[in-house]
Structure 1
Amino acid sequence: MTINNVSLSHHGGEEASGLLEELCDAYADAYGVEPGEEKTVAFRRRAEKQFSRPGFALVTARDGGRLVGFTFGYTLPAGDTHWWGGVQPEPTADFLQETGSRTWVLSEIEVRRAWQGRGTGRALHDAVLGARGEERATLATGPDAAAQPVYESWGWRRVGRIPGDEGDYYSAYDLFVLELPVSW
């Protein structure tokens, strides 16, 4: 699929592993940091763990062969999940129930700075979520993340806040949910 001269491609976990260096480079550029800095090193660790998770999917955006953006995520496992741990305000037990096919986590959506504001992020978002069969998707952002109004404009709703874990980038995260399938 091609949108605004940017071609989108879907990938599984094995392919994602082979793209890790490109993903790290694009991630660093999106945040204006060097690929070896702490933020990118933390991204690498998270990404490597997620490539083998059930339901993992990656969508990449390329312009002239160069990786200019990507998004990926995975399906939450059945039973108890750390994802909803400590969310406030506390939702209903039914909301927290995970079946192994109910909720897909939009873990990362990153676009190189020079391609931001051109619709690349939205195209990635729509491509990855349009291919999902789960009932809903979820994502977490820092409490003051500039992307929050963007997510809300795309139909996401804030459901609460969770405390961050020791060593996390933020001390708390806002959780959002989007019902699937989405009709844009």
Structure 2
Amino acid sequence: MDDVTLTRLGADDVPAMLDEICDAYADAYGEVAGEDSGVKSSAFRDRATSALDARNYEIVVARNGQQIVGFVFGYSLRPEREWWKGLKPEPPSGFTTETGDRTVVLAEIEVRRAWQGRGVGRALHDAFLGGRSEERATLASNPAATATHALYEGWGWIKIGTVPGRPGSYYPEYIRFVLPLPVQNLPR
């Protein structure tokens, strides 16, 4: 990690580096059997662009020299977002109540393949969440990504359940995770 710098930026900084971010995303995934990488990359660009309008959007970028080697971005969860709609199993009363300041969505965390397994992802994760004021974080994951689920759980995330994908979603359902904040409570 000595040769990697982390920088926290806002939505206004992203358009100038969106192509670099999309390139890092594509590299992080590489070719996946049964998936159309062009469709997946296009869907990512759409998500990344629309996220820029979200409340309290932030991105943390990891660079080695001038190259983006990883990034994480997210934003505050708006009450009208219906993030928890259809959550199974049924959560406790009040769990899905959102105020606009209660929960941060960790929308994307990606590390180029050559940099994976070197602590970049964890550093990005901790830097992003360490700068947030919400009481908890949430993320969505592909239900088949069991190795990723194990990684998240090792970082302290709690699997809450599944929600159906919305029309046009990449997956028919998503796993929802939650992590209590502040970040100093995260296991190492």
Q: What is the TM-score with the length of structure 2 in the denominator? A: 0.92
- TM-superposed CA distance for 1:4, in Å, is 3.2
User: 2: CA distance between counterparts of 1:153 and 1:54?
Assistant: 29
Aligned partner letter, 1:164? G
CA deviations on 1:115-155 (whole Å, 9 max, x unpaired) are 00000000000000000000000000011213110000000
User: 2: CA distance between counterparts of 1:85 and 1:103?
Assistant: 15
CA deviations on 1:30-85 (whole Å, 9 max, x unpaired) are 0114xx8111100000011001210101000001211000000110113x432101
Asked if the contact 1:81/1:98 (under 8 Å) is kept, the reply is no
Gaps of 5+ in 1: none
**Counterpart of 1:81?**
81
**Counterpart of 1:22?**
20
**Counterpart of 1:13?**
11
Structural RMSD (CA) = 1.6
Are 1:118 and 2:118 counterparts?
yes
Asked if the contact 1:8/1:59 (under 8 Å) is kept, the reply is yes
CA deviations on 1:83-140 (whole Å, 9 max, x unpaired) are 1010000112311110110000000000000000000000000000000000000000
Are 1:90 and 2:95 counterparts?
no
Q: Percent identity?
A: 53
Query: Which 4+ stretches in 1 moved above 2 angstroms?
Result: none
Asked if the contact 1:109/1:121 (under 8 Å) is kept, the reply is yes
Aligned partner letter, 1:92? P
Aligned partner letter, 1:8? L
* Aligned residues between the structures: 181
**Counterpart of 2:106?**
106
Equivalent positions of 1:153-172 (< 5 A) are 153-172=154-173
Aligned partner letter, 2:131? A
* 2:105 partner SS: strand
